Amino acid sequence: MNRPPPHLVSGVRSARPRHRRDDVGGGREEHDMGRRTARAGAVGLALAGALALAACSSGDSGGSGGGGTDPAPSTAAGSGGAVEVEAHQGDLGTYLTDSKGNTLYLFVADPAGKSTCSGSCAAAWPPLVASGKPTAGDGVDAAKLTTIMRDDGSEQVAYDGHALYYFVKDTSAGATTGQGVDGFGALWWVVAPSGSAITSMAGSSPSQSSQGDLGY
Measured CA distances, 211 to 54, 115, 164, 183, 215 (Å): 52, 21, 22, 8, 5
Mean pLDDT of 32-46: 56
pTM of the model: 0.62
Q: Are 58 and 148 found together in one domain?
A: no
Q: What is the DSSP code string of 37-82?
A: HHHHHHHHHHHHHHHHHHHHHHHHHHHHHHTTPPPPHHHHHTT-SS
End residue of a domain, out of 10, 34, 62 = 62
Question: Nearest 5°: CA angle at 205, between 200 and 210?
Answer: 115
Count structural domains, the chain: 2
Domain range holding 110? 73-207
**β-strands 145-149, 155-159 pairing:** antiparallel
Looking at residue 204, its pLDDT comes to 45
Q: Is residue 82 part of a domain?
A: yes
- Res. 81 pLDDT band, cuts 50 70 90: confident
Q: Could you read off the pLDDT of 130-186 as tens digits, one per residue?
A: 999 999 999 999 999 999 999 999 999 999 999 999 999 999 999 999 999 999 999
